Structure formats: structure tokens, C-alpha cells
């Protein structure tokens, strides 16, 4: 049923998961969690990482049970009508996640580099790039994800520049926040890990699906470690009230970077960030396309085009920081509940259904 | 079909990229400001001066200044632009100077624009000018670009002189942290030649005190683990002087009971090389007495300085931060009232590593 040319090796799941987990959130997640957990934020980062390790396990158990993607599971469990409605919810979630990532990036460009940039023309050029990648099929997207991890990975070296001004004493005293504050921070932190749900769509395309769990978990560990490194340096580098003023704390690291050949490093960093977020947008748009084309039986390329028009229209209509923030908050909370509530429930339901089937047969 | 698509796509990419409304900023069509100064006029207004270097064909550098008055610093830029044929850009500002008069009112209001503007780096040096800030920039001297000159002057004094690490980021860090007050270098113009005289201490955003000559070195030692190429000298007795250089120092705190007014111990470990000695051959015993004398001298200077800081109720050393990270019962207001009452005890461990090239 599945075209051999579309399949990928299990180790590539590592890049797919890592890439989609570390997206636009890297630029400014610090402010949101430090607001509630202060110097204990690093605990929240680890807890959120553990939480997502469980979510990944849930997803893969669910997928291994059914051997098909989320669309198929929905129709199998809930029938055509209810399943179809649930499918539409997930499809729109992926589509709007893609838009959220894109709009946040444009906002960074507007705030840091070109305040007067014409968003329409920029979006059209970017949409062409997305169309090219998505219409190339899943293997092309996997390739872009691979490059999206490898090419920007040099940016990790810039973490050495702020070290000159960090005071790790700020991490002390450990655990001087209440459980409630840490839990709230964990919830807010988990918003930076979202994106992994695309796994629910591409799972049938993986060869040797049993091995996928190992690679997905490894990717989750690497994500957690990267966030941990960033938050620890941020806590040392900024004082608590100071960080609450920076929307993009990671970007502000770069304004401390001084290298002889370039005066302002942010310009290089933000330009590299295109390669960092392109795979995320493509993967979300691809998942939404795939779902809709099966559901409505329309050619995928037409759907992608429609999505890109929606992407351009929505990004143009979100005008200021406030609107973008509200939009992002809605997306984050929807995502959070989809992952931590909906998926475990779905897993339980499918367990019960399977058991019934087995009993029926006996 | 395929070729048509490729053509269409590349045409679109080509044309659309040129309509993105991105302002080109060609290097020789703009004025690159390298330093800016602010002077106080009244509560709401200030004068601002920006300096931009002009590189002349005969390798000379001409520093051109623009001056304008307003109540917001971006308005000032507008007024400056009205005076010149090329727009002024702030992307390469290296030093921002404030007059002492302005610093006495509130600097936080002034630094806000620097932090908000992403085109200004976090490593910009801020400094307070003892006198009119404008004078430092307007007077022509030497054949150098003013901004770079000032920035180099501050930089080498941080690396090997009397200044502790300082820049926009650290100023904002100290101002925003609960147990610390910011400080900035202070510059005095002398016939147009800027001289770094010490450190200006702030109570939150307000200038309160300017360190004296003899306090500079000990201030740096107390603020951070530092190395210092310059030395300092002490009188050991009648006609007996010793001076040391290449000092490296390390400061650590010992707070047995944080958030009470029990004593706080500050341990200072200093290593240095003997540079000048007016007595006889320094043998082991003499060196030991020099060390003892130096310890006493440093201890005295440090304790005097700390008492002064307590009287001013400013905490540039970040003692509050040391306490905050050692206790779970931190309370900002309680600490504020506690700080002036705490007895400090400075323990100096002075070691002379070498006594120079002679024996």
C-alpha cells in the first residue's frame, strides 16, 4: 500500500523529532518559565522533557497497536462522521501550528532586522519555498529536517560568548519555589516541546517501526539537554527582573557576541534561523495536507496551495505583538491539551476496543 | 510545463525580493555615529551630541558632531538628521556618555532606549562625564575616531587597569537585580582629553558617589576576581616604600548567618610581584613583613570603603546578591534596612610571588 520511495530509515526519526521540537520557542522560552519558577526553571525544563518522553511513548504504543496513521485510527475507532470531525480538528491544528511558526519568525525579522519589511512579498517568496518542499514528498521533507539540524548546529557555539558575564550563583538556592509554581512552569515549558504530533502522520512511512521509539526518545533527550543548557546560561546571564523584559532572551545573547569580522551577530543568527524553522513549517503543512487529501479525496498539491494562501492571509492579518501573542497562546494551550489529555485518552480507548475485539473473537 | 514553472518561480523570486521594502544602507551614504553624549537641561529636556568619523583621503580622521535638544532620544535623531546630508545610523555606537548632572536625576529613563533598540549591542560602554559630556566629543584631538578611542580607553582599563567589567548589559543586570546597585566608569575631560578617573556609584538609577583615587584598586578587587597590571604602593615605615604590580586577586564571601545582622566575612586573596622597594635586599623575612604591611593596608582601605558604601546605602559589590543566593528567607525590603547595620570583616591574604629580576 505504501510506496517504497516514500519510506525512510528509522534513524531519520531522530532528525524529524528533534527538528520539530526545537523551533521558534528556542528564541524566547526563558521569559515565560522564569516568570513563575525563577531560578528553579531548569527543574521545569527537565520535568517537561520527562513528560514528553511519556507522550512519545504513548503515541508510539498507540501507533504500533493500529499500524496506521492518526486519520486511520480515528475512522477505525469512531466511525466516519465523528472520526472525520476529529480529523478536521487535528488538521487545522497542524495548519495553524505551521502558520504560528512562520508568523513568529516574521515578527523576529520585523523587530530585529527590517522593521519596514513588506510581509506580503516576503510571504509569497517563502510560500513558494514551502510549496516546493512539501510537493517534493516526505523524503524531501526528511532531507530538509536533516539539514535543518546540521546547518544551524554551529549556533550552539555562540553560547560561549555570554559565559564571560554569567554568574552561576544565581541558580542558588535550589528549590525555593513551591510545587505549584514549578508545575505551572512545567506546563508553560512544555509549550516549547510541541510539534511532535506530526509523528502520528508519518509513522507508517518508517521502515522497521519498532526501532522508531529509540530514536524518538533520543531526540527528546537532546532537545531537553539543549533547552537545559540555554536556561542555565540564561539564569546566570540575566537577573530575574531583567529577563522578564526580554521577549527573545536567546536573541539578546547574540547582541553580546563580538567577533572581528562581523559587528552584529544577530543578523547572521536570524538569517540562519530560516533554515531552522523551514522544516518545521513544511512538516506541519505536510501533515495537514496528507490528512486533508485522504479525508476529502483531493490532490495533495491543490490542498498545499490552498494552505499557503491561508498562511499568507493569516500572517498578514496578525498585525502586532499583542495579536500574535494571543494567537500563540491559543495554539499552545490547544496543543498542550491535545498532547497530554487527548492522546492518553485515545490510547486507553483503543486498548479497550482491542480487548473487546479479542473477547468477541473468543 | 516544468520549464514554465521554473521560469515563473525564479521570475517571481527575483522581482518579489526587490519589492520587500528593505532600505539599503550603503556605507558611504550614511553617517555612522560612534559615540553619543547626553547633557542635562531641565527635568524633561536634554541636549544630545552624536559624533561620526569622516575618513579623509590623506588618512586623517575628522570627527563631525551633531547637537540637538529634545525630551526623547529618538526625537533627537530626527533633529540631527535635519542638519546633515546623510542619515545618521546608531548601529555602531560604542560609547554613550552622560553628564554627572543628568546621572544625578535618573539614568534608567535614558538607558531604556538603548536596551529597546535592537540595533544597539549589549556591549556598548556607558560612562558618566564629570562636567559637560558634550565637551568630550566636541573637542578635536589626535587623529582618531572619537568613539573607538573612548571605547579602547575604557576597554584597556577594564583588562588591566582600575575599572571592573562594565557595559550596558551589566548596568541593566545590576539595576534589575534585587541585591545589587549599578556602577559606571567616570571620565573627566581635561583640555578635551578624556581621563578615566574612577567609578561612579548609583543608587538604582541615581548617581550618588564618585570613588577617589585610593579607592579604585580596592573597589575592583572587591567587585570581581580580577587581574591588574598596574600596581599599588604602600608606606612601610620611615622612608620605606614598597610597590607591587601584576596583581591577581580573588574575592569570596563567608556569610555564616544570612539575613541577620551578624558579621559578613569577605576573604581577599591577592598575589603580586614586587616592583619597587626602597629598603635593603628583600630576603624572606623582609618579604614577609612587606606582605603583612600590605595586608593591613588593603584591609584598612577595604573596610573604609565598605563603611562608606553602607553610609550611602548603595551596594555595588552585590553583597545583597551573595546573601540572596544563600538564604531561603530573602526579602528585598528587609535587606535594605539591614544592609547599613551589618558589620563587615575583610580578611586579606597577600602573597608576593616574585621579587623581580634581581636578588
Query: Is B357 a residue whose pLDDT tops 70?
Result: no
Structure confidence by residue, pLDDT tens digits, A254-295 = 888 878 788 788 888 888 999 989 999 999 999 999 999 988
Residue to mutate among B10, B32, B124, B325, with most A CBs inside 10 A, is B325
Residue-range definition of the domain harbouring residue A60: 4-356
Number of domains in chain B: 2
CB atoms A165 and B91 under 8 Å: no
CA dihedral B225, B287, B212, B189 (to 10 degrees): -80
CATH number of the domain at A131, please: 1.20.1740.10
Structure confidence by residue, pLDDT tens digits, A16-44 = 999 888 887 888 888 888 888 888 899 99
How many other C-beta atoms lie within 10 A of the C-beta of residue A77? 16
Binned at pLDDT 50, 70 and 90, residue A312 comes out as very high
* Domain-located, residue A362: no
Residue to mutate among A242, A253, A308, with most B CBs inside 10 A, is A242
Same-domain pairing of B175 and B196: yes
Structure confidence by residue, pLDDT tens digits, B273-297 = 887 777 777 678 888 888 888 888 8
Residue to mutate among A251, A256, A270, A308, with most B CBs inside 10 A, is A256
Same-domain pairing of B249 and B350: yes
Q: What is the model's pLDDT at position A53?
A: 92
Query: Is A222 a residue whose pLDDT tops 90?
Result: yes
Q: d(Cα B174, Cα B203) in Å, to the nearest integer?
A: 11
Query: Is A309 a residue whose pLDDT tops 90?
Result: yes
* Domain-located, residue A361: no
Q: Distance (Å) from the C-alpha of residue A263 to the closest C-alpha of chain B? A: 8
Per the document, the length of chain A is 362
* Domain-located, residue B14: no
Same-domain pairing of B251 and B169: no
* Domain-located, residue B157: yes
Q: What is the model's pLDDT at position A362?
A: 67
| B329 interfacial to chain A (CB closer than 8 Å) | no
Q: d(Cα A228, Cα A214) in Å, to the nearest integer?
A: 21
Same-domain pairing of B102 and B186: yes
* Domain-located, residue A135: yes
Q: d(Cα B152, Cα B168) in Å, to the nearest integer?
A: 16
Query: Is A56 a residue whose pLDDT tops 80?
Result: yes
Q: Distance (Å) from the C-alpha of residue B196 to the closest C-alpha of chain A? A: 23
CB atoms A128 and B12 under 8 Å: yes
- The answer for B 82-121 residues in CB contact with A (under 8 A) is 91-92, 115, 118-121
CB atoms A263 and B92 under 8 Å: yes
Q: State how far Cα A8 lies from the chain centre.
A: 20
Q: What is the model's pLDDT at position B358?
A: 66
Same-domain pairing of B218 and B163: no
Same-domain pairing of B43 and B86: yes
Is A88 in a helix, a strand, or coil?
Answer: helix
Distant-in-sequence, close-in-space partners of A207: CB < 8 Å, separation ≥ 6 = A7, A8, A9, A10
Q: How many degrees, rounded to 5, is the angle at CA A195 between CA A194 and CA A198?
A: 145
DSSP 8-state secondary structure symbol assigned to residue B279: S
pLDDT above 90 covers a percentage of chain B that reads 16
Domain boundary among B149, B178, B211: B211
CATH number of the domain at B277, please: 3.30.300.210
The DSSP bridge pattern shows strands B264-277 and B344-354 to be parallel
Cell of A47: 520535568
Structure confidence by residue, pLDDT tens digits, B95-115 = 999 999 989 988 888 888 888
Query: Among residues A248, A297, A246, A291, which one has the least CA distance to residue A273?
Result: A248
- The answer for A 247-266 residues in CB contact with B (under 8 A) is 251-252, 255-256, 258, 263-264, 266
Beta strands in B137-293 (DSSP E): 183-190, 193-203, 206-210, 226-228, 232-237, 240-254, 264-277
* Domain-located, residue A233: yes
Query: Among residues B304, B296, B291, which one has the least CA distance to residue B354?
Result: B291
Residues of chain A contacting B21 with CB distance shorter than 8 Å: 114, 116-118, 121
Q: d(Cα A281, Cα B80) in Å, to the nearest integer?
A: 43
Q: State how far Cα A31 lies from the chain centre.
A: 18
CB atoms B176 and A241 under 8 Å: yes
Query: Is B16 a residue whose pLDDT tops 80?
Result: no
Same-domain pairing of B246 and B283: yes
In DSSP terms, which residues pair with B206 in a beta bridge?
B203
Q: Distance (Å) from the C-alpha of residue B233 to the closest C-alpha of chain A? A: 30
Q: d(Cα A212, Cα A203) in Å, to the nearest integer?
A: 9
Structure confidence by residue, pLDDT tens digits, A158-180 = 888 888 888 888 888 888 888 89
Asked whether B22 and A114 are in contact (CB, 8 A), the reply is yes
* Domain-located, residue B50: yes
Query: Is B174 a residue whose pLDDT tops 60?
Result: yes
Same-domain pairing of B288 and B176: no
Query: Is B359 a residue whose pLDDT tops 70?
Result: no
DSSP 8-state secondary structure symbol assigned to residue A25: G
Distant-in-sequence, close-in-space partners of B15: CB < 8 Å, separation ≥ 6 = none
Cell of B186: 567616570
| A131 interfacial to chain B (CB closer than 8 Å) | no
Distant-in-sequence, close-in-space partners of B77: CB < 8 Å, separation ≥ 6 = B50, B88, B90
Binned at pLDDT 50, 70 and 90, residue B31 comes out as confident
Residues of chain B contacting A176 with CB distance shorter than 8 Å: 328
Q: Distance (Å) from the C-alpha of residue A257 to the closest C-alpha of chain B? A: 8
Domain boundary among B144, B176, B211: B211
Same-domain pairing of B173 and B262: no
Alpha helices in A204-262 (DSSP H): 212-237, 240-243, 249-254
Query: Is A1 a residue whose pLDDT tops 60?
Result: no
Residues of chain B contacting A252 with CB distance shorter than 8 Å: 122
pLDDT above 90 covers a percentage of chain A that reads 31
Query: Is B148 a residue whose pLDDT tops 60?
Result: yes
Query: Among residues B251, B261, B259, B255, which one has the least CA distance to residue B317?
Result: B251
- The answer for A 5-24 residues in CB contact with B (under 8 A) is none
Q: d(Cα A213, Cα A219) in Å, to the nearest integer?
A: 10
* Domain-located, residue B95: yes
* Domain-located, residue A49: yes
The DSSP bridge pattern shows strands B193-203 and B206-210 to be antiparallel
Q: Distance (Å) from the C-alpha of residue B95 to the closest C-alpha of chain A? A: 15
Residue to mutate among A109, A112, A119, A167, with most B CBs inside 10 A, is A167
Same-domain pairing of B310 and B175: no
Q: Output B91 or B267, whichever has higher pLDDT.
A: B267
User: Terminus-to-terminus CA distance in chain A, angstroms?
Assistant: 30
Number of domains in chain A: 1
Asked whether A171 and A236 are in contact (CB, 8 A), the reply is yes
Query: Among residues A24, A211, A170, A190, which one has the least CA distance to residue A101?
Result: A24
* Domain-located, residue B83: yes
Q: State how far Cα B146 lies from the chain centre.
A: 17
DSSP 8-state secondary structure symbol assigned to residue B271: E
Residue-range definition of the domain harbouring residue B193: 28-211
DSSP per-residue letters across A183-218: HHHHHHHHGGGTTGGGHHHHGGGBSSGGGHHHHHHH
* Domain-located, residue B4: no
* Partner-chain residue, chosen from B23, B118, B122, that has the shortest CB–CB distance to A256: B122
Q: What mean pLDDT is predicted for residues A74-101?
A: 90
| B19 interfacial to chain A (CB closer than 8 Å) | yes
Q: What mean pLDDT is predicted for residues B205-222?
A: 88
Same-domain pairing of B216 and B346: yes
pLDDT above 70 covers a percentage of chain B that reads 97
* Domain-located, residue A39: yes
Q: d(Cα A275, Cα A134) in Å, to the nearest integer?
A: 15
Q: What is the model's pLDDT at position A303?
A: 92
Which residue of chain B has the CA closest to A253?
A: B122
Distant-in-sequence, close-in-space partners of A283: CB < 8 Å, separation ≥ 6 = A16, A19, A20, A141, A145, A195, A198
Looking at this predicted complex, what is its ipTM? 0.85
* Partner-chain residue, chosen from A117, A241, A256, that has the shortest CB–CB distance to B123: A256
Binned at pLDDT 50, 70 and 90, residue A45 comes out as very high
CB atoms B16 and A125 under 8 Å: yes
Same-domain pairing of B291 and B319: yes
Average pLDDT, chain B: 85
Amino acid at each position: 500500500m505504501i510506496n517504497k520511495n516514500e519510506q525512510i530509515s528509522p534513524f531519520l526519526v531522530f532528525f524529524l523529532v528533534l527538528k520539530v521540537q526545537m523551533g521558534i520557542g528556542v528564541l524566547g522560552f526563558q521569559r515565560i518559565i522564569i516568570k513563575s519558577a525563577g531560578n528553579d526553571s531548569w527543574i521545569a525544563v527537565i520535568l517537561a522533557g520527562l513528560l514528553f518522553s511519556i507522550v512519545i511513548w504513548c503515541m508510539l504504543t498507540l501507533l504500533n497497536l493500529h499500524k496506521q496513521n492518526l486519520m486511520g485510527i480515528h475512522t477505525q475507532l469512531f466511525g466516519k462522521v465523528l472520526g472525520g470531525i476529529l480529523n478536521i480538528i487535528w488538521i487545522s491544528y497542524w495548519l495553524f501550528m505551521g502558520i504560528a511558526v512562520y508568523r513568529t519568525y516574521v515578527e523576529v525579522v520585523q523587530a530585529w532586522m527590517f522593521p519596514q519589511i513588506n510581509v506580503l512579498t516576503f510571504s509569497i517568496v517563502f510560500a513558494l519555498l514551502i510549496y516546493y518542499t512539501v510537493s517534493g514528498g516526505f523524503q524531501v521533507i526528511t532531507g530538509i529536517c536533516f539539514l535543518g539540524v546540521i546547518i544551524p548546529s554551529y549556533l550552539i557555539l555562540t553560547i560561549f560568548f555570554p559565559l564571560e558575564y554569567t554568574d552561576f550563583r544565581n541558580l542558588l538556592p535550589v528549590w525555593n519555589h513551591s510545587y505549584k509554581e514549578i508545575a505551572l512552569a512545567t506546563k508553560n515549558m512544555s509549550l516549547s516541546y510541541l510539534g511532535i504530533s506530526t509523528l502520528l502522520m508519518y509513522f507508517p512511512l518508517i521502515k522497521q517501526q519498532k526501532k522508531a521509539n529509540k530514536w524518538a526518545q533520543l531526540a527528546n533527550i537532546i532537545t531537553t539537554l539543549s533547552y537545559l543548557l540555554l536556561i542555565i546560561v540564561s539564569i546566570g546571564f540575566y537577573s530575574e527582573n531583567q529577563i522578564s523584559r526580554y521577549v527573545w532572551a536567546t536573541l539578546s545573547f547574540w547582541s553580546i557576541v563580538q567577533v572581528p569580522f562581523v559587528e552584529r551577530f544577530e543578523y547572521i543568527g536570524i538569517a540562519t534561523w530560516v533554515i531552522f524553522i523551514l522544516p518545521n513549517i513544511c512538516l506541519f503543512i505536510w501533515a495537514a495536507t496528507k490528512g486533508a487529501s485522504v479525508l476529502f479525496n483531493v490532490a495533495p498539491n491543490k490542498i498545499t496551495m490552498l494552505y499557503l494562501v491561508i498562511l499568507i492571509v493569516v500572517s498578514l492579518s496578525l498585525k502586532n505583538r499583542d495579536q500574535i501573542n494571543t494567537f500563540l497562546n491559543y495554539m499552545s494551550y490547544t496543543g498542550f491539551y491535545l498532547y497530554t489529555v487527548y492522546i492518553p485518552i485515545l490510547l486507553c480507548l483503543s486498548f479497550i476496543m482491542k480487548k473487546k475485539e479479542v473477547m468477541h473473537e473468543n | 510545463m516544468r520549464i514554465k514553472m521554473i521560469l515563473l518561480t525564479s521570475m517571481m523570486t527575483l522581482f518579489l525580493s526587490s519589492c520587500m521594502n528593505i532600505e539599503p544602507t550603503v556605507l558611504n551614504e550614511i553617517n555612522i555615529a560612534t559615540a553619543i553624549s547626553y547633557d542635562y537641561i531641565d527635568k524633561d529636556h536634554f541636549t544630545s551630541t552624536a559624533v561620526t568619523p569622516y575618513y579623509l583621503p590623506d588618512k586623517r580622521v575628522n570627527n563631525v558632531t551633531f547637537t540637538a535638544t529634545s525630551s526623547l532620544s529618538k526625537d533627537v535623531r530626527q533633529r540631527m538628521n535635519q542638519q546633515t546630508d546623510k542619515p545618521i545610523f546608531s548601529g555602531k555606537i560604542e560609547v554613550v556618555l552622560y553628564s554627572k548632572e543628568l546621572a544625578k536625576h535618573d539614568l534608567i529613563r535614558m538607558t531604556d532606549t538603548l536596551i529597546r533598540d535592537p540595533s544597539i549591542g549589549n556591549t556598548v560602554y556607558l560612562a558618566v562625564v564629570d562636567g559637560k559630556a558634550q565637551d568630550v566629543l566636541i573637542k578635536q584631538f589626535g587623529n582618531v575616531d572619537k568613539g573607538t578611542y573612548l571605547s579602547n580607553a575604557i576597554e584597556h582599563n577594564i583588562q588591566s587597569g582600575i575599572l571592573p567589567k562594565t557595559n550596558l548589559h551589566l548596568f541593566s543586570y545590576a539595576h534589575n537585580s534585587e541585591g545589587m546597585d549599578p556602577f559606571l566608569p567616570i571620565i573627566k575631560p581635561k583640555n578635551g582629553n578624556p581621563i578615566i578617573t574612577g567609578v561612579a556609584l548609583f543608587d538604582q538609577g541615581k548617581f550618588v558617589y564618585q570613588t577617589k583615587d585610593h579607592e579604585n584598586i580596592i573597589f575592583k578587587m572587591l567587585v570581581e576576581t580580577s587581574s591588574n597590571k598596574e600596581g599599588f604602593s604602600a608606606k612601610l615605615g620611615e622612608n620605606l616604600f614598597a610597590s607591587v604590580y601584576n596583581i591577581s586577586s580573588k574575592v569570596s564571601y563567608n556569610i555564616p548567618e544570612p539575613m541577620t545582622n551578624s558579621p559578613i566575612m569577605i576573604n581577599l586573596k591577592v598575589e603580586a610581584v614586587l616592583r619597587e622597594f626602597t629598603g635593603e635586599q628583600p630576603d624572606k623575612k623582609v618579604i614577609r613583613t612587606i606582605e603583612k604591611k600590605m595586608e593591613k593596608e588593603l584591609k584598612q582601605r577595604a573596610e573604609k570603603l565598605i563603611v562608606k558604601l553602607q553610609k550611602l546605602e548603595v551596594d555595588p559589590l552585590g553583597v545583597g546578591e551573595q546573601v540572596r543566593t544563600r538564604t531561603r528567607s530573602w526579602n528585598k525590603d528587609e535587606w535594605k534596612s539591614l544592609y547599613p547595620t551589618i558589620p563587615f570583616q575583610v580578611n586579606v591574604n597577600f602573597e608576593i610571588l616574585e621579587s623581580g629580576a634581581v636578588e
